Amino acid sequence: MKKHDRIAAVTLIVLALAAAYYAYAELKLGTLRVPDSGLLPFLASLVIVASSAVWLWSLRGPDPEPRPFWAKGAWIKPLLAVTFLILYASTLELLGYLPSTFIFLGLWQFLVERVHWRRAILVTVLGTAGMYLLFVQLLGVYVPESIFGF
Amino acid sequence: MEIFQGLIDGFGIALGANNLLFAFLGALLGTAIGVLPGLGPAGTISLLLPVVYQMGSSTTTVIFLAGIYYGSMYGGSTTSILLNLPGEAASVITTLDGYQMAQKGRAGAALSIAAIGSFIAGTIGVIGLTFIAPPLAEFALSFGPPEYFSLTLVGLVLAVFLSGSSVSKGLLTLALGMILASVGLDPITGKLRFTFASVGLQSGFDFTTLAMGIFGLGEIFYNLEQSDVMGTVTTKIGRLFPTASEWVQSRWAILRGSIMGFVVGILPGGGGVLGSLASYAVEQKLSKHPEEFGKGAIAGVAGPESANNAASTASFIPLLTLGIPSNSSIAMIFAALLIQGVTPGPFLIVEHPEVFWGVTASMYIGNVMLLILNLPLVGLWVQLLKVPFNILGPVVVLLTVIGVYSTSNDVFQVFVLIFFGVVGYFMRKFRFEPGPLPMAFVLAPMIENSVRQSLLMSRGSLGIFVERPISAVLLGVFAIMVISQLVKALRSRKRSAAI
């Protein structure tokens, strides 16, 4: 874990230094009498740099418990979930709420949770219908319509 | 007399049909999410923030959300006792003795003492809120920008120090929250900050989207890695009420836990988790049989469960009197009030007495509701654990998406939500406590404005922060906290070097 923590700490230091430079050069710090837009982000960036440096310092020395960042294959489900969610957001206005929700739930049940196909179909159909009835019909929430008009 | 009159008026508001219904719904939902591991009160309140836009009444909104928060403290003990699986963080310590009691066939007694202790502590907490909040708010009326800056600074840093996790990671999370809050148009100078030519970012990040992403989606993504989030209840609940001897062992633990939880709860960062840990340590120290702790001592359930309830109620005091949220769940309620056009702070009791007294009175009623919901209906709550994660997970995801989309009708916000979900996931992977992030996010504008106003008042002199007595005392507290933390770090370094 230490290796990944070190990578994360260094990444944060680099990003925070970039943010501090942006706040200093672009937003400007102003004076004590009239502070400008960059002052708070600049100070917050410095806190991130300092905290990340302390974190990095605490990670020195060999790792007593070297273990992988993800247990075997544990990254697959979160990655698939994020991918399907991006796909869902991309198709929401294109296909409409009902079809895109149906596809998203189906993908989640079949590929993320990998439940039995009968259960997957049941959850997908009932889940889509339930969400549509609750939010659109009952609560009157505006959602993008499909080409079929619902 | 003003307090009693306010309370009577508050009961008039809280006993209205609509408010009574939402207090019940809040208590019900709070108990449910307390029972369900993997979805805490902050996550649930964040999921419900879009609903707040539709609710209309700020009093009803806070009654509902407060019910969820303190209700989750009641429900959290159920899975701790029956499954050795805490429903929320404040019930972690309950697993030590609660589960052992369940293994010995005393699950019913453990559950009932947790509910009775929670009820007594919750009620003591509300009595404290009733009598402490109004004079504290009156005192805070004299605060100007320098005092507010110092108070917010102390509050945020104390929240990090008391959270129990790494201080450097906590400070990093705070600073990240501040940078995220600065994205968008600076209201004073009109400059665009960190928008990188994106029109969607010009109005800044929406708190609802950020909270739902970090707490809702982040939690779901993280739970996907665990093979079995829910457990299976095999323990028999047994006789529900404690024996006379168990009651004798518990009564002082309940009282001590209530008082300790209340005191800790007022401090920023000192919510239910710290209260329950402190109570457990004290009960173990005071017990005639400390060796029984961890093996099924009922005082080890009664004390911490009372403390976390008293703390959750007490944490409303800094919110309603100073406008300072003391933990992430309270930060969500802070945001909900802002959505309703009510600014939490010392003026709240004067300008919106119906909110303060209505919410306070509803807490008395909510505690009675929770006692009824948690004692006889415990078997029903256990059934909730049978909801599989393959249903709960995508339902939460769909709730976050429709929640965010419905507040903006803009799909860009859904992408922002996914981004924060990924941030929340990696925060959990790298063992960052996400709690300080929403606190910093909601308080950042107050910090920035109070610094600017203070410096304008003093014509650029930083001395204004130490020349005013209240601000100087607060900064003194801040300095003591930082120094003590440094000394602690140095001592532990020396100790580990000696080993």
Record: contact A101-B390, CB cut-off 8 A: no
Q: Which two tokens stand for residue B14?
A: 């809280």
- Chain A partners within 8 Å of B496 (Cβ): none
Closest CB from A74, A85, A93 relative to B397: A85
Q: How many CB atoms lie within 10 A of CB B482?
A: 13
Residue found under tokens 């942006």: A22
- Residue B230: the pLDDT is 52
Record: contact B221-A88, CB cut-off 8 A: no
Asked if A95 and A146 count as a contact pair (C-beta separation under 8 A), the reply is yes
Least confident of A27-41, B352-366, B477-491: B477-491
Compare B266 and A18 and report the one with higher pLDDT: A18
- Residue B99: the pLDDT is 85
Closest CB from B182, B421, B455 relative to A35: B455
Interface A-B: count of C-beta contacts within 8 A: 152
- Chain A partners within 8 Å of B415 (Cβ): 86, 89
Record: contact B175-A51, CB cut-off 8 A: yes
- Chain A partners within 8 Å of B444 (Cβ): 40
Q: Which two tokens stand for residue B39?
A: 């979805």
Min Cα–Cα distance to chain B from A50, Å: 8
Mean pLDDT (whole number) for B231-243: 65
- Chain A partners within 8 Å of B194 (Cβ): 19, 22, 41
B263: confidence class by pLDDT, cuts 50, 70, 90: confident
Conformation bin of residue A44: beta by default, left when phi > 0, alpha when psi is -120 to 50? alpha
Compare all CA atoms of chain B with the CA of A80 and give the residue at the minimum distance.
B221
- Residue B76: the pLDDT is 76
Q: What would the pLDDT profile of B108-154 be if each residue is shown by its tens digit?
A: 888 889 889 999 999 999 999 999 999 988 888 888 899 988 988 88
Q: Crossing angle of helices B58-83/B41-55, nearest 10°?
A: 160
Q: What would the pLDDT profile of B450-470 be if each residue is shown by its tens digit?
A: 998 999 889 888 999 999 999
Alpha carbon A69 to chain centroid, angstroms: 18
ipTM: 0.94
Compare all CA atoms of chain A with the CA of B183 and give the residue at the minimum distance.
A41
- Chain A partners within 8 Å of B421 (Cβ): 82, 85
Record: contact B169-A113, CB cut-off 8 A: no
Min Cα–Cα distance to chain B from A107, Å: 11
Mean pLDDT (whole number) for B261-286: 80
- Chain B partners within 8 Å of A104 (Cβ): 394, 398
Record: contact A92-B405, CB cut-off 8 A: yes
Least confident of B311-315, B317-321, B388-392: B388-392
- Chain B partners within 8 Å of A44 (Cβ): 175-176, 178-179, 182
Q: How many CB atoms lie within 10 A of CB B484?
A: 11
Closest CB from A33, A45, A143 relative to B402: A143
Name the average pLDDT for chain B. Answer: 85
- Residue B237: the pLDDT is 65
Asked if B224 and B436 count as a contact pair (C-beta separation under 8 A), the reply is no
Tell whether the model's pLDDT for residue B228 goes beyond 60: no
Mean pLDDT (whole number) for A64-79: 84
The highest-confidence range among A65-79, B288-302, B412-426, by mean pLDDT, is: B412-426
What is the pTM (predicted TM-score) of this model? 0.81
The highest-confidence range among A132-136, B94-98, B305-309, B360-364, by mean pLDDT, is: B360-364
Mean pLDDT (whole number) for B298-319: 90
Q: What would the pLDDT profile of B67-77 be if each residue is shown by its tens digit?
A: 998 888 777 78
The 8 Å CB, 24+ separation contacts for B223-229 are B223/B38, B223/B389, B223/B393, B224/A77, B224/A78, B224/A81, B224/A112, B224/B393, B225/A70, B225/A71, B225/A74, B225/A75, B225/A77, B225/A78, B229/B37, B229/B38, B229/B389
B19: confidence class by pLDDT, cuts 50, 70, 90: very high
- Residue B231: the pLDDT is 52
If we measure between CA atoms, which residue out of B305, B220, B273, B272 comes closest to residue B38? B220
- Chain B partners within 8 Å of A92 (Cβ): 401, 405, 411, 414
Helices (DSSP H) in B315-435: which residue ranges? 316-322, 328-339, 348-351, 353-374, 378-384, 389-408, 411-429
Tell whether the model's pLDDT for residue B238 goes beyond 70: no
Please give the backbone phi and psi of residue B470, each rounded to the nearest 5 degrees, phi first. Answer: -65, -45
B92: confidence class by pLDDT, cuts 50, 70, 90: confident
Compare all CA atoms of chain A with the CA of B188 and give the residue at the minimum distance.
A37
In three-state secondary structure terms, B185 is strand
Min Cα–Cα distance to chain B from A128, Å: 10
